[in-house]
Amino acid sequence: MSQYEEKPCFLNGKYLPLKDANINIRTHALQYGTACFGGIRAYYNKNKDNLYIFRLKEHYNRLLNSSKILQMTMSYSYEEFENILITCLKKGEWKENAYIRPILYKSDLELSPRLHNVKDSFSVYIIPLNDYLDIEKGLNTCVSSWVRIEDNQIPTRAKATGGYINSALAKSEALQNGFDEAIFLDSGKFVSEGSASNLFLVKNNELITPDLPSSILEGITRRTVLTLAEENNIKFKERRVGRTELYTADELFFAGTGVQIAWIKTVDKRTIGEGKMGPITKKLHDQYFDIVTGKLEKYSNWLTAVYDK
Ligand code: PMP
C-alpha cells in the first residue's frame, strides 16, 4: 500500500484515510454512472514552499452546473468546498504536484436508473500526479471510430462519470492500435475533443478550437488558453472544425487539467506541421506552466495558495 493511502480524504462529512473510504456495492452511482466530478490540479512551488490550486472557483462552478444537469444537490458552498480541499491537503502535508478529485454521486441503494429523489453524497480524494501524458515527445493520435456523445444523449457539459465510458472506448481503441490518444468527431462529423482534454489547432498564426456545440466539455484549461491568446494578441476563433483541417494544421495540441498543454506530432499517421512543438504552442505551454506554478504574479488571482490559508 502506498503512503498516499494513509493521507486524508473526505467522505460523508468526515476526514478519513483514503484506504478506509469505501462505499456499498449497491451504490446508485456505481450501478448507473450517476455522478459528476471535478479534476483539479495543485502545483508545488519549491522556491515559495507552497502549493497552488489552479482555478478552484471555476472548477466549483462547473461542478455546480453538472449537478444542475444531473438533478443533484451540492450541499457545500464555495467557501466550505475550498475549506474541505485545503484541509485534506494540509492534513496530508502535501508538498508535491497533486490531483484533486471531488465527486458528487448518487449514494442511495435504490434499484432504478433515475435522477430525481435519489440521495447525493460528496467526497474528495487526492493523489500525486505529474504528467498524465508525455508532454515533451509529441503525441501520436488517431481519429476515433467512436463518436462523441451528444448533449442530448449524455451531456458532455456535465462531466458525468457515466459519460466516460465513451472516453474509455476511444482511449483503449487508440492505445491498443499503437497510438497515444484519440480525437473524437461529434455526431455531425466535426472535430470534438480528446478522451479527456480539449483540442486546439494553429493555422496561419490563428488559434482555432471546436466551439461549445461540438459536444465538448467546457474546459477550464481551454478557457485559460483562449484568455492567454487574447492577451498575447494571438488571433483565435471558436468554430466547427473539419477532420482534414487537423491533417493540414501547422500546430496541434491538447489542453486540459490532466494533460496540461500536450503537443501533437501526428494524426492518423500524418505529420503535423514540421513534426515538432510549434512556436504558438510553445509560447502558451511555457506561460501556462509559469502561471500554474505561481511564477507569474499577474495571474495570482487564478491560484489558491494552500499554505497561506
Ligand atoms: N474534455 C474532457 C472530456 C475532459 O475529461 C477534460 C478534463 N476535465 C477536458 C476536456 C479538459 O477540461 P479541463 O481543462 O477543465 O480540465
217 lines ligand 1 (CB under 6 A): yes
269 is catalytic: no
Same domain? 161 vs 274? yes
Instruction: Give the SS3 label for residue 90.
Output: helix
Hey, what's the cell of 231?
492577451
Residue-wise pLDDT tens digits, 111-122: 999 999 999 999
Same domain? 78 vs 166? no
Q: Is residue 285 included in any domain, yes or no?
A: yes
Domain end residue (candidates: 102, 128, 154)? 128
Confidence of residue 133 (pLDDT cuts 50, 70, 90): confident
Confidence of residue 110 (pLDDT cuts 50, 70, 90): confident
Same domain? 201 vs 238? yes
Q: Is residue 300 included in any domain, yes or no?
A: no
Backbone angles phi, psi at 292, to 5 degrees: -65, -25
d(CA 158, ligand 1 centre) in Å: 11
C-beta separation of 77 from 91 below 8 A: no
Confidence of residue 3 (pLDDT cuts 50, 70, 90): confident
What is the residue range of 243's domain? 139-292
Mutate which of 54, 61, 221, 302 for ligand 1? The one with the most ligand atoms within 8 Å of its CB, which is: 221
pLDDT at site 309: 63
CATH classification of the domain holding 214: 3.20.10.10
Nearest to 294 by CA among 280, 308, 276: 308
Protein residue with least CA distance to atom 5, ligand 1: 196
- Residue 271 pairs in a beta bridge with 266
Q: Is residue 270 included in any domain, yes or no?
A: yes
Side-chain-side CA neighbours of 256 within 13 Å: the count stands at 20
Mutate which of 169, 257, 259, 302 for ligand 1? The one with the most ligand atoms within 8 Å of its CB, which is: 257
Same domain? 102 vs 187? no
Residue-wise pLDDT tens digits, 151-206: 999 999 999 999 999 999 999 999 999 999 999 999 999 999 999 999 999 999 99
What distance in Å separates the CA atoms of residue 118 and residue 95, rounded to the nearest whole number? Answer: 38
Q: Is the pLDDT of residue 1 over 70?
A: no
Q: Is residue 208 included in any domain, yes or no?
A: yes
d(CA 126, ligand 1 centre) in Å: 17
Average of pLDDT values for 10-37?
97
Contact partners, residue 142, CB within 8 Å, separation at least 6: 174, 177, 179, 182, 183, 267, 268
pLDDT at site 153: 96
Same domain? 154 vs 106? no
Same domain? 148 vs 271? yes
**Which of 7, 106, 159, 265 is labelled catalytic?**
159
- Residue 283 pairs in a beta bridge with none
What secondary structure letter does DSSP report for 187? T
